[in-house]
Chain A
């Protein structure tokens, strides 16, 4: 019987790449051979199933399981591409009040018996949905874009992780915090339009798990319903894989932080 590690992917600010990152990292961990489930806590919006390309296979959802209208095995969707990977989709028709603490706890406890990793894709904001997604977490991946408002919201979420999580309330060892900087645009950083990696590290003062560059591959992947980490040719895909490797304790140097220089041959050929 495994004792699952619960990872929340959170940010405070909306649209920074939480769902993209949950899908990529969850897939990456499963590829490493760990049995993994990704839960969509964004009740009312439902996004994860689209990015994972399983929206047509949704019958029951997270709220159905909480309300005991369906069993976990009925609601869990087995990923078709990646072994060891499951998705627990959100409901599109309920609101976030459906996420009761007891209900969420019961579902997580049941999942913990079977899975190695439980990834909680948090909704934006600091309200009930986001608080429920982080409450039971062991590890937090704080997704941040290199701009002031996103960094400020991440700082706020870090405060909530420290004060309103179960670990904090019970005085246990605090949630392990990781910074994932996404939509990083080296050119705009160079122009001073965006914060640099060290600016963000300096403000948030938590360890850096990875930097994901702004990449068209992300949009392409989500349109196709494939987590971008499976696009092993893309920079974003490689950067997500590096982050997963680091989570597993391996050392990976940061890449894709520099403005791309046009190579000699490219220049010669006028490319």
Chain B
């Protein structure tokens, strides 16, 4: 149904989640700064949610607001915060960004997203607003590139990226999801650029200048000592970037 002048739709936005275990303002800001400096373009203006639900004791309104401001100043864009459903503070409505429903495990979240999607189709406005802030639930379409990606070119996919030939030296491929290269990977490949630590890179021949999963990267010097000019996959194992022959 088309309303006059606008259309109300459900939309899924991929966001970063800043999950805080123990609150140390300086430490959080400086560590975040370091992460951003590694791959600044992926964090620029990226939406982020501050999640304090794992904290033992809740932080104060002042502390939370200071954190929001600092994170915004680092170039990210705080779109909301979360806390434990049973520990919602009285001042929750005073925070400059909205309180979002508590996080659920991914699997539950996905089935709920599907349910939400079907309800969105019936245009229930309450549900629409909820959907907008759900975190990385649905993987968008796979992008397939059939031609070589040449030096100086950059290709980005919101879901998985499949390159049927090669990625030349001096070219860059980026994906929120996985990257598959059915040829030589000679340029830079960055998977999980929005923070998906389960993303992987697969290639027929590893000759990359740089590979990165969720901001954890490795350069060709190091790669050459592990797997070189043969099939390889790159993944994160307990936060460590790992390269394995295929």
Docked-complex contact A203 and B168, CB < 8 angstroms: yes
Contact of A156 among B147, B152, B183, B184 (CB under 8 A): B152
Secondary structure at the A interface, as helix, strand, loop or mixed, is helix
Docked-complex contact A159 and B151, CB < 8 angstroms: yes
Contact of B153 among A152, A163, A202, A205 (CB under 8 A): A163
Docked-complex contact A155 and B147, CB < 8 angstroms: no
Distance between Cα atoms of A203 and B151 in the complex (Å): 11
Report 8 cross-chain contacts, Cβ distance below 8 Å, ordered by A residue.
A152-B151, A155-B170, A158-B148, A158-B150, A160-B152, A162-B147, A163-B153, A203-B169
- Is B15 in contact with chain A by the CB < 8 A criterion? no
Distance between Cα atoms of A172 and B217 in the complex (Å): 38
Contact of B165 among A156, A159, A160, A205 (CB under 8 A): A205
10 closest Cβ contacts across the A-B interface? A159-B150, A155-B151, A156-B151, A159-B153, A155-B168, A156-B152, A158-B150, A155-B150, A159-B152, A205-B148
Residues of A with C-beta under 8 A to B171: 159
Contact of A155 among B165, B169, B183 (CB under 8 A): B169
**B135-155 vs A, Cβ < 8 Å mask (1 yes, 0 no):** 000000000000111111100
Distance between Cα atoms of A163 and B149 in the complex (Å): 11
Known: A152-B169, A158-B148, A205-B148. 5 other contacts (CB 8 A): A159-B150, A162-B147, A163-B153, A203-B169, A205-B183
A side interface size, CB within 8 A: 11
User: In chain A, what residue has the closest Cβ to B187?
Assistant: A155
Distance between Cα atoms of A205 and B146 in the complex (Å): 13
User: In chain A, what residue has the closest Cβ to B183?
Assistant: A205
- Is B14 in contact with chain A by the CB < 8 A criterion? no
Which B142-186 residues sit within 8 Å CB-CB of chain A? 147-153, 165-166, 168-171, 183-184, 186
